[in-house]
Structure 1
Amino acid sequence: MSLVLFLLQTSGPVLLIALVTGLVSGGCSAGLIALISYSIAQETAGALVVAAFVGLGAIALSTAMVSRILLVQFSQAAVFELQLQLCRQILATELKALEALGLPRLLVVLTEDIQAIAAAASILPVLMINIAGTVGCMVYVSWLSWQVLALVLLITLLASLSCRWFLVAGRRGLAAARDNQERLFQHFRSLIEGIKELKLHYLGRQDFFAIDLQQTAHQVRHYNQTGLSLFAVLDSWGKFIYFFAVGLVLFALPNWIGISPNTRVAYVLTFTYLLGPMENLVNKLPLLGQASVALDKLETLGLTINQSVATSAPPPVQSWHQLALKG
């Protein structure tokens, strides 16, 4: 929620336009699926159907293009504003508090955390487009059969519950990698600032590399691999659930309720279209997980992306106007 509020504050108009055009594009895409299903069920397509297909396709493509262009501008503005916002807060923070935090922590915040949050910010409108298309498809499925919609919603609920463990475990791995990243930056700082001493002492140089830097880098790699691997398993598990739902509609559902072949074709087309938005959402979960970890780390350090613009302390008031040396 804090990320959404920050985006609305920094790039509200651009974000809203991108969201509106993205929602229109997603709705038109869902309309195209319904129109294609209707055309397959009919023997011939009339002029009105052809005109509707051309119109929906043109609107979907044009609004998607506008939304993508706005997203490029929006993502760059988000990175710019986020960097300045955190730098203002760091400048306004007391020196004692900054020394307690340490330079490596601040460097990780200004580099990796900002990039993680900016990456998540840039994909939020894209996810809104996918959500709009998914909702449109669900409306079409409910129009075909409310029983099938209820079945799809039940499968979605069970899938969400089964995927929660992968999400929590994957996020835990990314959080552990983020904690070790601060130690790695500390070793980078020691390497640069103490390069003369390390050059003069061979054994110390070897110990520093093997015991400190290499082991910390290995831990960062291990936790990142663990977290991202769990998200990859989640992707495969989501596809399995998708194919299970398609097979249920094709082979099992006709035995339970009367479904015509044309209606089954409409379901398959709709679910095939949904595979794209669903896969896109699952692929973006690691970015959202990293952004969530970065936001938690900012709060831990006493920083926030929604804090009012910080200002430096005012200069001391000078009550004298001239200085004279006597004697």
Structure 2
Amino acid sequence: MLSFLIRRFRGALLAAAIASVISGSCSVFLVSQINVVLAAQTTAPLQGLKFALSAVAAMCAHMFSAMLFQNLRQRAGAELREYISGQVMQAPFRYLERVGSASVQSALSEHTASVTQFFVSVPALLTSGAIVVGCLIYLMVLSPRIFLVTLPFVALGAFGYHLAHLKAINYLRSGTAEQERLFEHFRSLTEGAKELRLNRAKRRFFSDSVLSRSIESVRRQRTVGMSLFVAASSWGNFLIYAFLGLVLFVIAGDIPDRARVLTGFALVMVYMVGPLQALLVSIPNANLVKVAAERIEALVRGMKSTELEVTAVSEGALRSIELQSIRHRYHDPQSNESFHVGPIDLRFAPGEVTFLVGGNGSGKTTLAKVLVGLYPPEAGAILLNDELIDDANRDRYRQQFSAVFSDFHLFDSLLEQRRPELDERGNRLLARLQLLHKVQLREGAFTTRSLSHGQRKRLALVVACLEDRPVLVFDEWAADQDPGFKNIFYREVLAELREEGKSVVVISHDDRYFDVADRIVRLENGLVV
């Protein structure tokens, strides 16, 4: 993920990185000039000019780098969200059902923000790194003998930090995984609001044992992980002062030019503490970026689809859709149970109303999702106008359908080019369904979606009719409608769709309206009986 972003913004990233290194190098040069002035008897005007120019260069380079990296962060965030959204839109529907919306939301929000934070941390990382490296080089120039003594301290600090890193990264990964579960609990706060308010014991248990425990787990895991990094950073700072004390009071007794060397060492070591600490603190932030990128990559990896995206919808009229020995296995990850549908042989024709009936769990909705192309069959074949449907044309096949499933989503507009006749036709349908006093269709968008569930389902029916597809599928559409609207749907809407030559598939339990159907297909345990 980071490689993708770095390749995408290679030029700007390189320019900002060079500016950061220049800023850090200028800072080291300023420290060396201060040491020269402190050790000199008099101050030359040229030294003052060098100092002023270095300070201005450091400021300009830092400003340019920080502004460029902030711009990169926003661009990278936009690119990453577009990339993830594009992958989600082409992902197999079954995969999206399995991973759940919480993982997708977490990737689009928190994980994306963490990854793009990389572009803000880079200036500090590079500037601090340049300062630390430059200070070490200056120390070597001042006294190679003393510099050699620093190497064991550097090695000791690096080893301690490495041990802390290995331990801390596990806590950060666990905290990120728990964060995704927490997002699911947050969604339950609103979607399960009715149930929580109706049951005090359930509300208390959810609050105390589910939500609070998850929040505390995220806090604890991330606190421990980051605290290990802080402890390692403090250990590194202690080693710097320990080394400085060793130089001042033990080693530097007989070195030549003692005053200048000790002044330089003391000045550089004290100055290096801040950048070194910033460098060490940026490492856990970089690890948070790494963990977030891993979560995004794991999510996106399963979204790869072998289907070809449709470029043009077939203009040919629908003659038939045929299911030949279709089989599909549905696995419920929550109950860890599998359900088999098929083998099923069915044929659907224009101007025909088909009812799918059967008890709960008989396979009606699963069959409907196979029919519309959301689930590819695991065995058997689907033929559209005698053409075999496979990965190469399944997306084109899906364009034959409009569907209103029980878990439908209602967008705030029709999501197509504005056409005046759509508004007129849509408002006629809204009036017929007694919704015009609550919502209207204006320039392809609904004036409100703040409606009851039954009213929103009527609105979804309007959308399905306006899409004008050859096949319409309604999954228990009338289940929560008043008798008057049920009658309109079964006696009037379905009759009109039949007259328009549409093939209509209705999943229903309303046996009093079974006479409306041209054919009734009854399912039991995934088989047509």
What is the TM-score normalised by the length of structure 1? 0.89
Q: 1:299 aligns with which of 285, 297, 300?
A: 297
Q: 1:64 aligns with which of 62, 65, 68?
A: 62
* Pairwise CA distance, 1:210: 2.0
Deviations 1:164-196 (Å, cap 9, x if unpaired)?
Answer: 122122221111111111221121222221211
Q: Equivalents in 1 of 2:117, 2:56: separation in Å?
A: 29
Q: Equivalents in 1 of 2:77, 2:318: separation in Å?
A: 46
Q: Which amino acid is the alignment partner of residue 205 of structure 2? A: D
The DSSP-based 3-state class of the residue aligned with 1:44 is: coil
Pick the structure with more helix per residue. 1
Deviations 1:110-153 (Å, cap 9, x if unpaired)?
Answer: 11111111112311132111212222222212212222222223
RMSD over aligned Cα, in angstroms? 2.6
Percent of aligned pairs with the same amino acid: 28
Q: 1:205 aligns with which of 200, 203, 211?
A: 203
1:73 partnered with 2:71: yes
8 Å contact 2:124–2:278 — kept in the other structure? no
Q: 2:136 aligns with which of 135, 138, 159?
A: 138
8 Å contact 1:32–1:57 — kept in the other structure? yes
Structure-2 residue corresponding to 1:252: 250
* Pairwise CA distance, 1:161: 0.4
1:113 partnered with 2:121: no
8 Å contact 1:174–1:227 — kept in the other structure? yes
The DSSP-based 3-state class of the residue aligned with 2:316 is: coil
Structure-1 residue corresponding to 2:159: 161
1:1-327 paired onto structure 2 within 5 Å: 2-3=1-2, 5-255=3-253, 257-258=255-256, 260-303=258-301, 313-315=309-311, 317-318=313-314, 320=316
Greater relative CO, 1 or 2 (CA 8 Å, sep 6+)? 1
The DSSP-based 3-state class of the residue aligned with 1:284 is: helix
Q: Equivalents in 2 of 1:91, 1:167: separation in Å?
A: 37
Structure 1 unaligned spans of 5+? none
Deviations 1:272-307 (Å, cap 9, x if unpaired)?
Answer: 221121111122233212112112222332449xx9
* Pairwise CA distance, 1:61: 1.5
Q: Equivalents in 2 of 1:88, 1:154: separation in Å?
A: 51
What is the TM-score normalised by the length of structure 2? 0.57
* Pairwise CA distance, 1:321: 6.1
Q: Which amino acid is the alignment partner of residue 20 of structure 1? A: I
Structure 2 unaligned spans of 5+? 320-349, 352-498, 502-529
The DSSP-based 3-state class of the residue aligned with 2:65 is: helix
Deviations 1:26-62 (Å, cap 9, x if unpaired)?
Answer: 1111111111111111100112212211221221122
Q: Equivalents in 2 of 1:204, 1:272: separation in Å?
A: 58
8 Å contact 1:7–1:15 — kept in the other structure? no
Pick the structure with more strand per residue. 2
* Pairwise CA distance, 1:256: 7.0
* Pairwise CA distance, 1:160: 0.5
Q: Equivalents in 2 of 1:220, 1:322: separation in Å?
A: 54
Q: Equivalents in 2 of 1:109, 1:298: separation in Å?
A: 6
Larger radius of gyration: 2
Q: Equivalents in 2 of 1:24, 1:154: separation in Å?
A: 29
Q: 1:194 to 1:59 in 2, by over 3 A?
A: same
Q: 1:168 to 1:259 in 2, by over 3 A?
A: farther
The size of the alignment, in residue pairs, is 322
Q: Which amino acid is the alignment partner of residue 163 of structure 2? A: W
